[in-house]
């Protein structure tokens, strides 16, 4: 593992500032370096410690490779150090360095990559894109080594930006945050959404060693490829549901935009024929929003005998019907992860704004399990305005879903990111202030306290209920270990680490208070759950000593 960079080294790197006016030589084909930074440069946060399949960078490369000399540098897969990255910059001598920054958790490493690029050569033009720059362009552009922060779908914005720099075309009027010639920060409105996704060329995987990614899967997860090689694809962009905690509306828009079935099938067939892909992750936010288009795709996969297995991690179960379930099974679906979010009808309706109807959920679970499809359910606890008793309702529904056939349940802690309705909700309630650091946000620890619960309480209930519901019998532990393709010993390590993270500072008193607060709730509807936790509590605490 690479050592973390020291503060004095970081200060030295940040000393390289861009010139006020950038001039370029248009007589040669310009070299564009697209970079995935290594999050280990700035820490070993457990929530960013997995490989990222660079589909988006390859997609961007596909749009600009005709005019430019494009190279993708993935600092994660080879665990490149900052020194390694610096050497690559010196050897490649790029004209432009673009950095992908998926979320706020990755932002420190992304900014460090930009700083290193300017330190190597002040003439390098830098840009950064991703969820982070779309939702927080003001934070991103605070880095004076960053020339442009991309606000929107980068495939066309970056293409237009490069044409402005190197061909003298007009600067895009939307989609950028930058400094003008007077060094004043300009933050444009976000770019318009790409309405016809078929205009985008397929990801240019020739720029990476595709099989280096496709033949290994780093995470210990039930959402793992059941066969290799695998790839990640996306049929849609956008979601109109408007869940208050979700960034999708600000990132890819409200209406769901679909690629044509022919365009999507062309990519799937290319992946199978060129790279031998046997397994697909659909990375869509709401693949089933338009049932007709979803069914058309699944029928095409069946009719063309594609014989590729697939999974979907973001499943809107409220959009499903029995025919869609049957088509999923026939087309090769192995696993679906559906988002329930809360067991409380009030929280769903008034706080999260998600159209979940529990009778329909249980009906779809029964139908899916009749086909042998593995299932997981997501819950989000700690929403602003949610009571402790309503959090426990989610615990009860999670148990009921498991009894109905769901193989695995997950609990996440609400994270109100900028440009979400929940962020504004939490801010209005007085739960967020200027001291909140979004690069420290993650789904395993609480962000704020309320009169009903503390952030540390959420960490405790998340860890303990996840452990109790999924692993309270040997049979369950064996099933989940098999789904993850890990040994029982490795599963125990994962469980232990999860419980320890609920109390990272080994504050026994704090942990005990959190557990006791949970155990002493007066909500009678969860008495059975409390009894089971009491049985396991001493064993768990002893294991953590």
CA distance 530 to 528: 5
Q: For residue range 118-153, what is the model confidence (pLDDT) as tens digits?
A: 999 999 999 999 988 998 999 999 999 999 999 999
Give the H/E segment covering residue 440.
none
Contact 253, 238 (CB under 8 A): yes
When pLDDT is averaged across residues 59-80 and rounded to a whole number, the result is 95
> 307: number of CA atoms within 13 Å, CB side?
4
When pLDDT is averaged across residues 51-80 and rounded to a whole number, the result is 94
pTM score? 0.86
Contact 134, 218 (CB under 8 A): no
In degrees to the nearest 10, what's the CA dihedral of 205, 67, 194, 144? 90
Which residue has better confidence, 242 or 234? Answer: 234
288 contacts: CB under 8 Å, gap ≥ 6: 294, 315, 316, 319, 320, 324
Give me the numbers of helices (H) and strands (E) for the chain, helices first please: 21, 15
Q: For residue range 524-539, what is the model confidence (pLDDT) as tens digits?
A: 444 444 444 444 444 4
Indicate the fold that domain 209-537 takes in CATH.
pyruvate-formate lyase- activating enzyme (3.80.30)
pLDDT bracket for residue 443 (50, 70, 90) = low
Q: Where in the chain is the domain with CATH 3.40.50.280?
A: 7-187
Least confident stretch, 9-23, 45-59, 437-451, 481-495: 9-23
pLDDT bracket for residue 402 (50, 70, 90) = very high
Contact 227, 293 (CB under 8 A): no
Q: How many CB atoms lie within 10 A of CB 56?
A: 22
Crossing angle (nearest 10°) for helices 107-120 and 82-92:
40
Count of positions (residues) in the chain: 545
Q: What Å distances lie between residue 496 and 330, 499, 501, 512, CA to CA?
A: 38, 5, 9, 17
Rg of the chain (C-alpha set): 24
Which residue has better confidence, 247 or 316? Answer: 316
Q: What Å distances lie between residue 542 and 9, 297, 343, 500, 538, CA to CA?
A: 42, 51, 31, 12, 6
Phi, psi of 99 (to 5 degrees): -120, 130
Per-residue pLDDT at 90 exceeds 90: yes
Contact 376, 408 (CB under 8 A): yes
Contact 471, 480 (CB under 8 A): yes
- Residue recorded with tokens 């929530």: 47
When pLDDT is averaged across residues 250-269 and rounded to a whole number, the result is 93
- Residue recorded with tokens 């992908």: 100
pLDDT at residue 501, rounded to an integer? 80
Pairing between strand 96-100 and 125-129? parallel
Per-residue pLDDT at 517 exceeds 80: no
Q: Where in the chain is the domain with CATH 3.80.30.20?
A: 209-537
pLDDT at residue 22, rounded to an integer? 45
CA distance 382 to 91: 49
Instruction: Name the CATH superfamily, with its identifier, for domain 7-187.
Output: Cobalamin-binding domain (3.40.50.280)
**Helix, coil or strand: residue 223:** coil
Token readout for 470 is 């999924």
């Amino acid at each position: 593992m690479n050592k973390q960079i020291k503060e004095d080294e970081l200060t030295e790197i940040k000393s390289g500032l861009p010139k006020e006016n950038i001039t370029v030589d248009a007589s040669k084909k310009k070299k564009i370096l697209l970079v995935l930074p290594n999050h280990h440069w700035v820490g070993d946060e457990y929530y960013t410690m997995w490989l990222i399949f660079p589909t988006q960078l390859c997609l961007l490369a596909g749009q600009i490779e005709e005019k430019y000399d494009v190279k993708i540098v993935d600092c994660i897969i080879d665990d490149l150090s900052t020194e390694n990255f610096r050497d690559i910059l010196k050897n490649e001598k790029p004209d432009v360095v673009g950095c992908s920054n998926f979320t706020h958790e990755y932002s420190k490493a992304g900014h460090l990559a930009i700083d290193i690029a300017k330190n190597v050569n002040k003439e390098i033009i830098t840009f950064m894109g991703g969820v982070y720059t779309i939702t927080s362009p003001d934070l991103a552009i605070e880095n004076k080594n960053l020339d442009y922060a991309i606000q929107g779908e980068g495939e066309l914005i970056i293409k237009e930006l490069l044409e402005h720099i190197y061909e003298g075309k007009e600067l895009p009027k939307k989609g950028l945050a930058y400094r003008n010639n007077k060094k004043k920060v300009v933050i444009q409105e976000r770019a318009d959404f790409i309405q016809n996704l078929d205009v985008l060329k397929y990801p240019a995987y020739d720029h990476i060693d595709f099989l280096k990614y496709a033949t290994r899967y780093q995470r210990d997860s039930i959402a793992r490829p059941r066969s290799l090689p695998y790839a990640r694809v996306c049929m849609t962009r956008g979601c109109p549901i408007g869940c208050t905690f979700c960034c999708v509306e600000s990132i890819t828009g409200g209406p769901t935009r679909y690629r044509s079935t022919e365009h999507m099938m062309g990519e799937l067939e290319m992946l199978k024929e060129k790279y031998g892909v046997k397994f697909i992750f659909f990375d869509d936010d709401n693949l089933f929003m338009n049932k007709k288009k979803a069914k058309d795709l699944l029928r095409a996969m069946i009719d063309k005998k594609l014989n590729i297995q697939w999974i979907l991690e973001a499943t809107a179960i409220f959009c499903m019907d029995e025919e869609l379930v049957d088509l999923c099974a026939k087309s090769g679906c192995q696993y679906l992860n559906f988002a329930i979010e809360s067991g409380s009808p009030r929280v769903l309706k008034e706080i999260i704004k998600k159209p979940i109807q529990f009778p329909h959920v249980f009906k779809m679970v029964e139908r899916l399990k009749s086909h042998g499809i593995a299932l997981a359910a997501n819950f989000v606890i700690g929403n602003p305005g949610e009571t402790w008793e309503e959090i426990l309702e989610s615990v009860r529904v999670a148990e009921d879903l498991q009894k109905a056939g769901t193989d695995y349940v997950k609990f996440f802690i609400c994270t109100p990111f900028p440009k979400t309705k929940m962020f504004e909700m939490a801010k209005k309630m007085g739960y967020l202030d200027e001291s909140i650091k979004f690069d420290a946000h993650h789904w395993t620890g609480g962000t704020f306290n309320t009169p009903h619960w503390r952030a540390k309480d959420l960490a405790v209930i998340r860890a303990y209920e996840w452990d109790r519901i999924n692993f309270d019998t040997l049979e369950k532990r064996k099933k989940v270990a098999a789904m993850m393709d890990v040994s029982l010993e490795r599963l125990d390590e994962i469980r232990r680490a999860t419980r320890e993270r609920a109390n990272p500072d080994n504050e026994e008193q704090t942990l005990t208070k959190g557990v006791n607060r949970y155990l002493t709730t007066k909500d009678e509807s969860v008495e059975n759950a409390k009894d089971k936790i009491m049985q396991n509590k001493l064993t768990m605490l002893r294991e953590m000593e």
